[in-house]
Structure 1
Amino acid sequence: MHLPITQRSINCLALALFGAALVAYGKQRDPLPSWTEGPNKASIIEFVETVTTPGSPKFVPESRRIAAIDNDGTLWTEQPLYFQALYLLQRIKEIAPEHPEWKTKEPFASVLQGNLKKALSGGEKALLEMTLATHAGLTEDEFSDSVRRFLSSARHPTTGHLLTDMVYQPMLELLDFLKANNFKVFIVSGGGIEFVRIFSENLYGIPPERVVGSSLDAKYEFRDGQPVIVKQASIDLIDDHAGKPVGIHRYIGRRPILAIGNSDGDFEMLEYVTTGDGPRLGMIIHHDDPEREFAYDRDSSIGRSARVLDEGPQRGWKIISMQSDWKVIHPEEKK
């Protein structure tokens, strides 16, 4: 018996063929187009496909597909100075009239005099002192508004681009690839947790509840009849080096299966993640491209990378070369 060929059946067949073509295209489409073909790109794709394929001996259920990714130097530029440090410098100048004692007190005096080298010569201790002085006493909304104003116009001191344009295009693609495969992606940053939370969703598609970072103590208060959270002049967590696994334990509650960093401050995080049971992947972003970004590692005061480069390969961590593994660095190069 021959069934009549109707326009409806033709349309249904066409839709079925089109759907099949879309599925085939989706499987063939390159999820990391800004990454150079090579062993590192292949390792990333193979790892994701292996842990997400039902029936695979290395299949990982969605509840345990957790990725921990550093921010400064891993998702966006950190040279010549951490962007949060640039915010600190601006805020010191903004509120200096309220602190006449800063005219003679270091490191504030040097900031106000424009001598940044001297102001920052105190290293992490100086940055911490500036952080406490400029953050403590602010409510959550006051701090958020201040950071948003800063990021709306702050420009990179070398490129002149907005700081928010200094993200890495290959990493944006990797974030999308992981999220498309039902990974829960967390930012685990040495920077301030509240600072990163302001822009994490807009820049990376990562909601604030998936940000782990350094933090000050906080206190619940009533101000002007309203309940608020107020930053205190004391440290809750320094989310760097050994503090990163602690932050992961405290805020995530499960050991991730994938970790990406760029400096020795990320060593303990990668060590903690990659020594767990089951399939694991660790990656280090190596800043070795002086033409398109910066070239620095062992001798840098910011993003110093010595131990991760020495021990990483022995531990199976992939060393991602910006120069060799990335076709472009920032999104505008893609246009």
Structure 2
Amino acid sequence: MNKNVMIIAAVTALLFSCTPNNKQDDALSAWNDTPVKQQILNYVALAQKEIPVEDRVAVFDMDGTIACETPLWFEMATAVYGMHQQYVKQPELLKLKEYQYAKKLWENPADTTVLNHWMVDGVNYLDSIILKAFTPVDFETSIDMSAKYLMETKDKKFNMILGDMFYEPMLELIELLQKNEFDVYIVSGSMTGVIWSICPQTIGFNRAHLIGTRQALTPIYQDGKTILRIEKAIFPPKNDGNGKSLNIYNAIGKIPVFAFGNTTGDFGMFHLTATSKYPHMELMLNHDDDQREYAYPPYHGTAVPAWQDSLEINKWIQVDMSTQFKTVWKEKNKI
């Protein structure tokens, strides 16, 4: 082999090794080839070398991180449905503000007169809708009701089944982590029953890997069966902020090494993950694509204008949907 051929061969080999064409890169084919994608791939490769399998724990928020949450997130969509079922049978319930709000959202899920004005005289009426939606229904019955509604109802903007509106790039990332022996958990501020209603059948997660806010239940034993009656309260803390950190640790018993969220409410689990003794990574999905999805700031309720400062100071990674996602939805889920 002459010298020129040897040089060409060496350069070709170098380019091939630096080009995202290997099997691992193919696993993130729904992502654009950007530095963020490469950071993720580099981290996964590093984790294989430096993190024991038993400590490879990854946590993902659900609403707005792996699944669409606009105009209504899964929890609120099913809660409005539950309230609708109630006031149709008992019209007198419409005297109450939470039922009036639920009726407005049933007729228009994007009704800003509700979504932008849900705190009245110190009362959080969206929380009230969620807590009262299925009481006093049996917990398993509410799960079945939620699943049925989510798998039969379409998003008006994209004409897609709500329960199918999981982001293809995020599902690819979860699959990549699992293939590299990460134990992956979905950790959501939504009620556990809602997560259990859709994630097992849509993304294949069992209940043990789905951590949500726990609605208070009362066990009733009758006729050889256990009925778990839903109450109008939660078992604290709510799965948000530092409450999410506590629930992650209580449920898993370990500190994650990988965390992905989409709001300032996920900062708690980011801080927890950042304390890991192993190499760790924290990422935040930024919804800046109003054509292929919806555009909105990464906070709910009180504005947090300096949210990007927290990312920069803590070296958490901002993932802009508009530039990082090559595709948003799985083609087969588009109707």
Distance, in Å, in 2 between the alignment partners of 1:99 and 1:267 is 41
Aligned CA RMSD, in angstroms, stands at 2.4
Q: Give secondary structure in 1 for the equivalent of 2:181.
A: coil
Alignment match, 2:244: 244
Aligned partner of 2:322: which letter?
Q
3-state SS in 1 of match to 2:220: strand
- Counterpart CA distance in 2 for 1:230 and 1:140 is 6
The Cα of 1:211 is off from its aligned counterpart by 0.8
1:41, 1:288 → 2: CA distance?
A: 18
Matched, 1:184 2:217: no
**Residue 293 of structure 1 corresponds to which residue in structure 2?**
293
Worse-superposed segment, 229-238 or 170-179:
229-238
Partner of 2:202: 203
- Counterpart CA distance in 2 for 1:234 and 1:68 is 25
Describe the shift of the 1:223–1:95 C-alpha distance in structure 2 as closer, same or farther (beyond 3 A).
farther
Give distance in 1, aligned partners of 2:219 and 2:301: 34
Structure 1 or 2, whichever has the larger Rg, is 1
CA contact (8 A) 1:249 1:255 kept: yes
Q: Give 2:214's aligned residue.
A: 215
Q: Distance in 2 between matches of 1:241 and 1:189?
A: 11
Deviates more, 1:144-153 or 1:252-261: 144-153
Q: Deviation per CA, 1:16-66: give whole Å up to 9, x if none.
A: xxxxxxxxx97566221111112111111111111113xxxxx11111100
Letter in 1 for 2:217: A
Structure 1 contact 221–227 (Cα < 8 Å) conserved: yes
Between the aligned partners of 2:303 and 2:255, the Cα distance in structure 1 is 25
Distance 2:60 2:296 in 1: 20
Q: Provide the rounded CA distance (Å) in 2 between the counterparts of 1:258 and 1:219.
A: 35
Q: What's the CA shift for 1:117?
A: 4.0
Query: Which whole-Å deviations, capped at 9, do the CAs of 1:200-233 have from their partners, x for residues lacking one?
Result: 1222222111111111112221244422222222
Distance in 2 of aligned mates of 1:100 and 1:273: 48
Amino-acid identity (%): 26
Aligned-residue offset at 1:275: 2.4
Instruction: Specify which of 82, 96, 121 is matched with residue 73 of structure 2.
Output: 82
Contact 1:264 1:303 in 2 (8 A): no
Residues 288-327 of structure 1, C-alpha deviation per residue, up to 9 Å, x if partnerless? 11221122216x6479764542211221111111111111
Matched-pair contact (CA < 8 Å) for 1:148–1:198: yes
Q: Deviations over 1:52-93 (max 9, x none)?
A: 13xxxxx11111100010001100111112222111111111
User: Could you say what secondary structure the match of 2:227 adopts?
Assistant: strand
Q: Is the 1:175–1:204 contact (alpha carbons within 8 Å) kept by the matching residues of 2?
A: no
For the residues of structure 2 that align with 1:205 and 1:69, how far apart are their CA atoms?
15
Q: Report the TM-score when normalising by structure 1.
A: 0.84
- Matches of 2:46 and 2:307 in 1, distance apart? 26
Q: Hey, what does 1:259 align to over in structure 2? A: 259
Preserved contact between residue 59 and residue 256 of structure 2 (Cα < 8 Å)? yes
> Do structure 1's residue 36 and structure 2's residue 35 form an aligned pair?
no
2-structure distance, mates of 1:256, 1:215: 21
Contact preservation (8 Å) 1:218, 1:232: yes
Shift of 1:128: 1.6
Q: Which residue of 2 aligns with 1:61?
A: 52
Pairing of 1:1-335 with structure 2 (within 5 A): 27=23, 30-53=26-49, 59-112=50-103, 114=107, 116-120=111-115, 121-123=117-119, 125-237=124-236, 238-297=238-297, 301=300, 306-332=305-331
For the Cα contact (< 8 Å) 2:56–2:257, is it kept in 1?
yes
Q: Which runs of 5+ in 2 are unaligned?
A: 1-20
After TM superposition, the structure 1 stretch with the greater mean CA deviation from structure 2, 157-166 or 254-263, is: 157-166
Distance 2:297 2:206 in 1: 30
CA contact (8 A) 1:287 1:296 kept: yes
Unaligned segments of structure 1, at least 5 residues = 1-24, 54-58
CA distance in structure 2 between the aligned counterparts of 1:314 and 1:87, rounded to whole angstroms: 38
Tell me what 1:20 maps to: none
Please tell me whether the aligned partners of residues 187 and 248 of structure 2 are also in contact (alpha carbons under 8 angstroms). Answer: yes
Residue 306 to residue 170, structure 1, CA distance change in 2 (3 Å): farther
